[in-house]
Amino acid sequence: MTPRLRFAPSPTGYLHVGGARTALFNWLYARRHGGTFVLRIEDTDTQRSSDDMVSGILDGLRWLGIDWDEGPEVGGPHAPYFQSQRLDRYRAAVSDLVSRGCAYEDDGAIRFRVPQGTTTFHDEVHGPISFDNAHLESFVILRSDGHPTYHLSVVVDDIDMGITHVVRGDDHISNTPKHVLLFEAFGATPPRFAHVPLIMGADKKRLSKRHGATSVLEYERQGYLPDALFNFLALLGWGTGTDDELLSREELVQRFTLDGISGGNAVFNTDKLDWFNHQYLLKLSDDALVAHLRPFLIEAGLWRDAFHSTDHAWLVQVLALLRPRAQRLTEFATQFRPFCVAPTEYDTEGVRKHLSASDSAAHITALAACVTASAWNVETLERDLRALAEARGIKAAVLIHAARLAVTGRMVSPGLFDMLVLIGRNAVVTRLQRLARQLPLPVAPSAAAHE
């Protein structure tokens, strides 16, 4: 049987990492086995659902690279794929259950009549699970306002759409006996269930905004690459059985099995996500990196159209210098600024440590004259700076720290001499002279200075 799996989010919020991971597991299984991945929108909560949320879900899946074979904007043989457009189908299903004595009216609502006995199903992650039906109330399947409950609509949709596997979060295990009973009441074979571990924060509590959990598209705005987040999410609660971590989409598809899903909860570690993102940034081609960076540089006011033409080679050189240090695309934009714009402020601690001596201005003025005459390459600049330091009876570090503060305003940067070459002689000399004129700088401004 060709597998058919689905992701059925409710558009009462944007696509978050938990939902994205669920969609990803379903997608990986469908792709590995040549099956069908269905996207279905559970929008019967009319008060909380919105078109904006639907768009956010679709855009989030697209950004991650999760495509669907049937669903919104794609269509398919089982349309419509919005529950709000299937209300007549649910009401007909309820009427059928009532007519056969499987459901009954209670104060305007319709309840499913839970039979006596035990409901057992096999979970692909947890093994056999049994529930004593005595602990299941006769649950509502159609509200008094004519809208179906989640339990009814999800089962009717899974039957109509031929879903063979249901991969979803552990929090749905308690719902599953109700769903199994409904499948049986409709004369349908239940799908195979696989309940995956929930995603926890570092404190082992369920992931929430307090842990930094946010919509998938917010991770895009924070400077993460979709392939990095894809790889990271795939390994949250699933493993290859090896130490391999950096896996392409194709490798993940080839290796994914339900057997590899862990029964224990997965921990969302932002540091680990940053590591993944750094590894993927290192692997990007120059042109791909420029394409990813362009919107961040535009937002920072640093983009020039010449980066696609006359300044392209220069840009690639700068990015090669920054790439080993950046974990997110946003960090590139921050580190890129000194290459284009002179600093207007200087790190207070840096000024205190490296520019508070009475002769700092003289040293920087001498350095400006030195680099004006120096051949403009890394080796000569370093040689001439060290020679100048020796001539003035100071350590080379004094001039190195002063130069870094002058051209970047910061205490930390990529290799200084590589930076100087790429920033350019005129800009470097101007920045050195400007800082020398401002010394001594105040290192502890009074409160009145900020008023």
Topology, domain 289-339: Helicase, Ruva Protein; domain 3 (1.10.8)
Give the list of residues 6+ apart from residue 277 with CB closer than 8 angstroms, or none. 223, 224, 225, 228, 229, 327, 328
End-to-end CA distance of the chain: 73
Q: What is the pLDDT of residue 29?
A: 98
- Interatomic CA distance for residues 269 and 200, integer angstroms: 9
Query: Is residue 209 among the annotated active site residues?
Result: yes
Residue tagged 């051949």 (tokens): 375
- Interatomic CA distance for residues 115 and 128, integer angstroms: 20
Task: Yes or no: say if 45 and 12 are a contact pair by the CB < 8 Å rule.
Answer: yes
CATH 1.10.10.350 residue window(s) in the chain: 348-438
Q: Where are the beta strands (DSSP E) in 133-283?
A: 140-142, 165-169, 192-196, 199-200, 266-267
Q: pLDDT digit string (tens) for 309-354?
A: 999 999 999 999 999 999 999 999 999 999 999 999 999 999 999 9
Q: What is the pLDDT of residue 211?
A: 57
Query: For the chain, how many residues are written?
Result: 451
- Interatomic CA distance for residues 445 and 449, integer angstroms: 6
Q: Which of 4, 36, 159 is nearest to 90 (CA)?
A: 159
Task: Yes or no: say if 297 and 336 are a contact pair by the CB < 8 Å rule.
Answer: yes
- CATH architecture for residues 348-438: Orthogonal Bundle (1.10)
In order of 88, 207, 222, 273, 299, the CA distances from 334 in angstroms are 55, 29, 13, 20, 11
Indicate which residue of 209, 283, 353, 395 is catalytic: 209
H or E element, residue 128: strand 127-132
CATH 1.10.8 residue window(s) in the chain: 289-339
- Interatomic CA distance for residues 136 and 304, integer angstroms: 64
Give the list of residues 6+ apart from residue 382 with CB closer than 8 angstroms, or none. 417
**pLDDT < 50 positions in the chain:** 446-451
